[in-house]
């Protein structure tokens, strides 16, 4: 039986996850989006806007959800929004695109979206509410924290740790055994060769700290 799926969000990120389940996935029946900014009934890729975020609880009990709300500069606030929704763990779906690959001995927790051409190698632990965008790769023996974002064609190498809410921009490489801190930002096209502190924003090859975001404001 197909799992009914609703997506928190909409244009852009929501549609990227919808792309993984619309039309070609026999595991999910995509029923639409929850969005605070779009009118109910509005149309996006593969579905309608069903209502606001807060209306999730009015949907039938067999609907599951995913929340690809990751946004650079807003990761901590977005995670708080999701936490405040109060969904029980069993209402979160895990979406793994048919064209993604996850090694059998890796674990992927609930609420996580692994989109097309993403790869999770052996012995990794991928947390809750994580987004791996198309072409993102995690090597082996790495830990990806809750609500982390790994951008298009980025590589997180072996034995790395990515903290809760860290944002790794498109086309970046994190060298093996590095730690990317909680709510840190790795700019697009960055090569990380040493640990990134919590809340730091780094960019360049090799990565340099641009600044450290004041707690909760970035
Ligand atoms: C790192 C980032 C967050 C910084 O944004 P910002 O705070 O607005 O920074 P600015 O654009 O003001 O740039 C500040 C400095 O950092 C440099 N810089 C910014 N981003 C950079 C990057 N990705 N690589 C190298 N240098 C970068 C700028 O050239 C500038 O240098 P200067 O002070 O010598 O002129 C942003 O540039 C970025 O890369 N975001 C990720 C985008 C992404 O991958 N999105 C995925 C969407 S799916």
Ligand 1 site residues (CB inside 6 A) read 72, 133, 151, 169-170, 185, 187-190, 201, 203-204, 210
CA of 201 to the centre of ligand 1 (A): 9
| pLDDT tens-digit readout, 3-45 | 999 999 999 999 999 999 987 788 999 999 999 999 999 999 9
Burial 199-211 (b: 16+ CB within 10 A, else e): bbbbbeeebeeee
For atom 30 of ligand 1, the residue with the nearest CA is: 210
Q: Are 145 and 164 in contact (CB under 8 A)?
A: yes
Instruction: Name residue, tokens 């067999």.
Output: 62
Rounded Cα–Cα distance for residues 134 and 100 (Å): 9
Which of 210, 213, 214 is the pocket-test mutation for ligand 1 (most atoms within 8 Å of CB)? 210
Residue 84, number of CB atoms within 10 A of its CB: 9
Cis check: omega of the bond before 206, within 30 degrees of 0: yes
| pLDDT tens-digit readout, 82-111 | 999 999 999 999 999 999 999 999 999 999
Which of ligand 1's atoms lies nearest the C-alpha of 133? Answer: 48
């Amino acid at each position: 039986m197909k799992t009914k799926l609703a997506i928190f969000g909409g244009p852009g990120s929501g549609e990227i996850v919808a792309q993984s389940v619309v039309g070609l996935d026999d595991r999910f029946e995509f029923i639409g989006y929850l969005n605070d900014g779009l009118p109910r009934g509005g149309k996006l890729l593969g579905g309608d806007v069903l209502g606001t975020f807060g209306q999730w609880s009015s949907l039938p009990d067999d609907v599951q959800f995913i929340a690809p709300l990751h946004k650079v500069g807003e990761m901590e606030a977005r995670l708080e929004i999701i936490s405040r929704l109060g969904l029980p763990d069993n209402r979160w779906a895990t979406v793994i695109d048919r064209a993604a690959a996850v090694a059998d001995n890796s674990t992927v927790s609930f609420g996580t979206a692994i989109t097309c051409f993403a790869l999770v190698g052996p012995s990794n632990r991928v947390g809750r509410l994580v987004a791996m965008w198309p072409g993102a790769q995690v090597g082996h023996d790495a830990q990806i924290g809750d609500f982390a974002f790994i951008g298009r064609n980025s590589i997180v190498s072996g034995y790395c740790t990515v903290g809760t809410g860290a944002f790794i921009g498109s086309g970046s490489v994190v060298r093996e055994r590095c730690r990317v801190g909680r709510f840190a930002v790795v700019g697009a096209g960055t090569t990380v060769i040493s640990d990134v502190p919590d809340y730091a924003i780094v960019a360049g090859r090799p990565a340099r700290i641009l600044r450290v975001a004041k707690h909760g404001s970035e």
